[in-house]
Structure formats: structure tokens, C-alpha cells
Amino acid sequence: MELFAISGLINGIASLSFALFIIYKNWRDKVNQMFFLLMTGMVIWSFGYWQWLSSTSYGAASFWIKIFSIGSTLIPAFYLHWIILILKKETEKHVLKLVYILTVLIIILSLIFPELFIKSIIAKLSFPFWPEPGVLYHFYLASVYGLLVTYALTLLIKAYKTSSLEIKGQVFYVILGSIFGFGGGLTNFFLWYNVPVPPYGNFLVAAFPVFFGYAMLKHKLFNAKVASTELLTFSIWVFLLIRTTTSLTLQDFVINGGIFILTVFAGVFLIRSVIKEIEQKERLEKMSIQLAVANDELKRVDGAKSEFLSIVSHQLRTPLTAIKGYISMMIEGSYGKLLETQSTTLEKVFQSSERLIVLVNDLLNLNRIEDGRIIYTFAPVDMGQMIDDAIFDLKSMAENKGLKLAWIKPHGMPMAWADADKLRQVVINFIDNSIKYTATGSVTVSLRLENDYLIYQVKDTGVGMTPEGKARLFRKFERGEGGRLMYTEGTGLGLYVAKLMTEAHKGTIQGESEGKDKGSAFSIRIPTEEYAKKNNINQKPIEPTKPSK
């Protein structure tokens, strides 16, 4: 008898655990609310069953049998309602009104006329108190359990046949839980009708909330980690509670009871900590999704920005080139002799148009590189001659500032393996920057061979760099503090573009300075033709690539 009473206790604790988890976690969802009510009906039935079979007097047994019967009447109604909500059977809701009317009517009649439902309570097998069914009990059993449960199972089977694969998995576990739960519960009715079979199936009723809970888990209403933690914790509670209630001495009862109470507090703390961890994980996942969406939006905006820059730059370059050409012709006297003041003013306009053209070209190059649209054509390049040409073009700029532009030209240098146009931009950029950011002193240009790489370096006595400024070198739109003060028109794009182009040559770029006002030295390493061919560097036409991180 105690064994069967314990089965009721186990069923009650399992149902209570899932009911409490639902009310704590997802109370607002209608499916969860009905699941909570279903588990509440299970708790009433299970604890009533436990206390009934544990009773030692007729009065106590009679009271707990009534509680047990109320729970068993509520379960089928809540079960059908839950199934209808899960399957979203909106057309079946009118059936629920009749079901609840019938359920309430049966409960009221059982309380007012108990003898119509339970004729008497007598001893059967090893049970001292077992009920005998009354006249209306047969109707209750056929209508509530027979019709409602059968109808709900019919809906589930139809849904299983017609639903998607994911829904089928959920419905399967609901059907399985229904078979174990109601099938195990029905073994209690054998003794009601004097069939001498003990209710062994009552131990299967615990599968009722477990399988239903797993179905909810598949429906993403439970979390597997939380559910497994709860089941383990509640199992320990049940074991300790059984040890406490079956204690033979007062001392054992106090010790077991104390351990049980401590375990309850520890278990609650454990469950809450796991739930908190899961909630934090869910928040992080949501933030990750939001960041991914924001990143996609940034990519879209960046693409729109690049497209805008490309269009604007192309539209600006043509009229700027025309303006520069006409101003040059005016300065040369093609449209008549100019006064000195006019000529000086036009010189300033000419220089401004040149700066604008350089800026537009930098923007175009940057846009092409970042969009992966720039194409490199590699061939043997005489870097010595390239530097000669750059020195010739920029010599007057250095002389106008009173700077010494020295070119330490070596002899017998091998050819570089490079895209001549792109490399020329880097070569000119280094010399141009040094002249701009040097007030007095010199700019020294050198070229040397080192380990199959040509090292091109430009060293000046200019503004130099602080350690902080050096750390920001080669970043887009970044300029050193001294450079910003000395030359306000810079954009911070030249060195960034130079870095990307050097990397495309499988070379390296470097900037050094001993400190503020102590000058700077910028250099690049470009592979020689022989070394590039020997090591298969940029030997095939390469696809446009994005810059490295």
C-alpha cells in the first residue's frame, strides 16, 4: 500500500515542478497557462491519491478520495483545452463550453450527492479503503474519460498525419505522454469494478508531465538545461521526502527532515541560477542577432557611401581637369598678358585645383580598392628611373620652400616586379608628404637592395611623430598632430592608399620617427623581378581583392 501511495507522491511532485516552472518562466502565453492548469489538476489528483492511500481512518480516506476525484474530473477538461490550443483548432472552441459545463456539473453533483458517485468505501486486496462506484460514476467515467480523452487523441492523431515534420515531433510526444498517463491511470479502475488487479500502472503516470514537458521543449517553451536540472533536483527531493516520511525513529525523522529542508533551499538556488544563466544567454543571442542586423545595415550604408563617392568623384574630376587646363593657359598668356596680381591669384587657384584633383583621385582609388574593383598589372619596373621622374616633378616644390631635396641614386639595381602606375603613386606620395611637412632642412630619398627586396625610403627633418601619432599611421582619414597644424588641406588618405597598394604588391610599408620635431622616415619593400618569378609572386593576373584587416 505504501508503495502505491508513494507513486502518487512522485506524480504530484513531477506535475508540480512543471507547473511552477511554467508560471515562473512563460506565464503570458495561453498554451503555457493551460498547461499550468492541466498540471494543477494533476497535482490535486496525485496528492489526493497519495493521502488517500496513506490514510489510517475512514474519514480521512473519504475526504482525500473526494479531492482525488475532483482532480481526476478536471484533468480531461484541461487536457482537451490544452490540445486545442497547441493544435490551434479555433473551430473546436465551441466544444470547450459544453466540456466545462459538464465538468462543473459533475463536480457540484459529486459534492452535493456523494453517494451517487461513491456508494461505499471498503477493503479490497491489501487496501483498507477502496471506493465502490455509484450510479452516476459510470456516466462520469464514460463521458469524461471515455469521450473527452478519445476526442483529444483523435485530434492529435489527425494532426500527426497532416502536420509538418517539426510539428509531428511535438505531437508524437504528446500522444506518447497521453498513452502513458491515461493508460497508467486507468489501471486504478480495475479495483473499482472488483477486478483483482493492483494499480501498478500508476507509476507510469509520472511520464504524463515528463513527455508533455518535452513536447513543450520541442516547441521552444522550455529549456533543456533548465528542465534537466529541475528533474534531477525534484528527484532528489522525492527521495529525501520519502526517507523522511518513512523514518522509524524521531531522531531519523529530524535528521532526514533537516537534510530535506536544506536540499530544498539548495535546489531552489540551483534552479534559479540555471534559469538566470539561460536568460543571460538568451539576451546575448538576441544582442548577437541585433548586431548582425546592424552589421548588415552598416554594410549596406557603406556600399551606398562608396557608390556615392564614386559617382561624385567621377563627376568632379572632369570639370576640375578642365578648370586646371584653362587656368594654366591663362597663366601662360594664351588669352592675353596678365597683370602680376592676376597671375599670382591664378597661381593660387591653379594650386587649389591641383589639390582638389589629388583629393578626388585619392577618393577614387580608395573607393576602387575597398570595393575590390582595382586591377593590378604587374611587370618589370625600373624604380630608379621612376624616382628620377618624381624628383624632377617635385624639385621646384622643394626649392620654393628652401628645402634640400637629395636623391641618393644607386647603380645596378635590379628591376622591381610591380604595377608601375600604382607604385608611382606611392613613390610620389612619400616625397610630396615630406616636402609638405618639413619647414626647414632636407628631404633625402634613397633606394637599396636588401634580401631580394628593393627598399625605397624617404627621410626628412620635418615635424616627426609622437608615439601616439605613430600608432595611428596608415589608418583611413588619420593625420598626425604636427601634420594637421602645418598643412591643413591634407585628407589622411594618401598613406592609407599607399599601404593598401604596397600590400597588393606583397610588400611591406613602414613609418619611423624619433619623436616630435625630429623628422620621419617612410619606406616600402617591393620584391625584385627575379625573386617574384622564382617564388611565383603576382605572376598571374590577380582578381581585385579587398584590403587586409
pLDDT tens track, the chain, 549 positions: 577 888 888 888 878 877 777 666 666 778 888 888 988 999 999 989 989 998 989 999 999 999 999 999 999 999 999 888 888 887 677 788 888 999 999 999 988 998 889 999 999 988 999 999 998 888 888 887 788 888 989 988 888 888 766 667 678 878 888 888 888 888 888 999 989 988 888 878 877 777 776 666 554 444 556 656 666 776 677 677 767 766 778 888 888 888 888 988 888 788 778 777 877 887 888 888 888 888 888 888 776 766 666 666 667 767 878 888 888 888 888 888 888 888 888 888 887 787 777 777 777 766 666 666 678 889 999 999 999 999 998 898 899 899 999 999 898 899 999 999 889 989 999 998 899 889 899 999 999 999 999 999 999 999 888 888 888 888 876 665 555 555 545 566 788 888 988 999 999 999 999 888 889 999 999 999 999 999 999 887 555 544 444
pLDDT value of position 383? 95
Do residue 396 and residue 468 come from a single domain?
yes
Residues 352 and 442 in one domain: no
**Residue 273 resides in a domain:** no
* CA dist., res. 121 & res. 71, Å (int): 19
Which grid coordinates are listed for 287? 544582442
**Same domain, yes or no, for 88 and 115?**
yes
pLDDT value for 29: 77
| pLDDT at res. 184 | 86
Does 387 fall in a domain? yes
- Whether 356 and 385 map to the same domain: the answer is no
Whether 87 is covered by a domain: the verdict is yes
At 188, which CATH number?
A: 1.20.1070
Residues 520 and 462 in one domain: yes
Q: Whose CA is closest to 181, among 21, 36, 70, 15?
A: 15
How do 404-408 and 453-460 pair as beta strands?
unpaired
| Pairwise CA distance, residues 453 & 535, whole Å | 13
CATH code at position 345: 1.10.287.130
Q: Is the same domain home to 299 and 393? A: no
Nearest to 140 by CA among 129, 148, 132: 148
Q: Which of 333, 348, 370 is the last residue of a domain?
A: 370
Residues 353 and 383 in one domain: no
The CA distance from 64 to 68, in Å, is 6
Examine residue 501 and state whether it is found in any structural domain, yes or no: yes
Q: Which residues pair with 464 in a beta bridge?
A: 516
The bridge status of strand 416-418 relative to strand 442-450 is: unpaired
Query: Is residue 380 within a helix (H) or strand (E), and if so which, with residue range?
Result: strand 379-381
pLDDT at 228: 62
Domain boundary among 351, 370, 389: 370
- CATH number, domain at 530? 3.30.565.10
Per the structure, the count of domains in the chain is 3
Residue 204 per-residue DSSP state = G
Residue 228 lies in a domain: no
| Range of the structural domain that residue 530 is part of | 379-534
In this structure, the answer to whether residues 359 and 429 fall within a common structural domain is: no
Q: Is residue 284 part of a domain?
A: no
Within a domain: 268:
no
Residues 384 and 459 in one domain: yes
- Please check whether residue 542 lies inside any domain of the structure: no
Give me the pLDDT at residue 492, please: 67
Residue 315 cell numbers, joined: 563627376
Distances (CA, A) of 323 to 33, 125, 397, 474: 76, 113, 21, 32
Which residue among 222, 246, 268 closes a domain?
A: 222
pLDDT of 260? 81
40 plus 188 within the same structural domain: yes
Q: Quick one: three-class SS letters along 7-23?
A: HHHHHHHHHHHHHHHHH
d(CA 347, CA 327): 8
Whether residue 387 sits in one domain with residue 325 = no
3-state secondary structure of 351: helix
Same domain for 363 and 415, yes or no, is no
